[in-house]
Amino acid sequence: MNPSLVGSDLCVPCGLCCDGSLFERANLRAGEQSFTAGLGLKVLNASSEKPGFHLPCPLFKGCCSIYEQPRPHICGAFKCKLLLACENNRFELSDGLEIIKKVRAMQAELSSLLPTSVDGISSRQEIKRQMQALAQASQEERRTHLSFLVLAAKYEMLLRKHFLLQFSKKNLPNNLPEMDG
Ligand code: SF4
Ligand code: SF4
CA of 96 to the centre of ligand 1 (A): 10
Amino acid 65: pLDDT: 93
**19, 57 Cβ separation under 8 angstroms:** yes
Pocket lining: 60 vs ligand 2, CB cutoff 6 Å: yes
Task: Give distance in angstroms: CA of 82 to centre of ligand 1.
Answer: 7
Nearest-ligand number for the alpha carbon of 82: 1
Q: Examine residue 64 and state whether it is found in any structural domain, yes or no.
A: yes
pLDDT at 170 over 60: no
Counted residue by residue, the chain has a size of 181
Domain with 63, as residue range(s), is 23-79
Q: Please, which pLDDT band fits residue 32 given cuts at 50, 70 and 90?
A: very high
* Residue 134 placed within a domain: yes
Asked whether residue 153 is assigned to any structural domain, the reply reads yes
- Kindly give the distance from the C-alpha atom of residue 58 to the centroid of ligand 2, in angstroms, as a whole number: 8
Number of compact structural domains in the chain? 2
Q: What are phi and psi of 180, to 5 degrees?
A: -115, 150
pLDDT in tens, 135-160: 999 999 999 999 999 999 999 999 99
Asked if 44 and 120 sit in the same domain, the reply is no
- Model confidence over 45-90: pLDDT tens digits? 988 889 999 999 999 999 999 988 999 999 999 999 999 999 999 9
Instruction: Tell me which of 5, 23, 57, 83 to substitute to probe ligand 1's pocket, judged by most ligand atoms within 8 Å of the beta carbon.
Output: 83
Ligand 1 site, residue 11, Cβ cutoff 6 A: yes
36 belongs to a structural domain: yes
Helix (H) or strand (E) holding 180: strand 179-180
Query: Contact at 8 Å (CB) between 56 and 121?
Result: yes
| Cβ of residue 17 lying under 6 Å from some atom of ligand 2 | no
Angle at 181 (CA atoms; ends 35, 128), nearest 5 degrees: 145
Distance 143 CA to ligand 1 centre (A): 34
Residue nearest to atom 8 of ligand 1 (CA): 11
Q: Are 43 and 33 in contact (CB under 8 A)?
A: yes
Q: What is the pTM of this model?
A: 0.87
Same domain? For 75 and 90 the reply is no
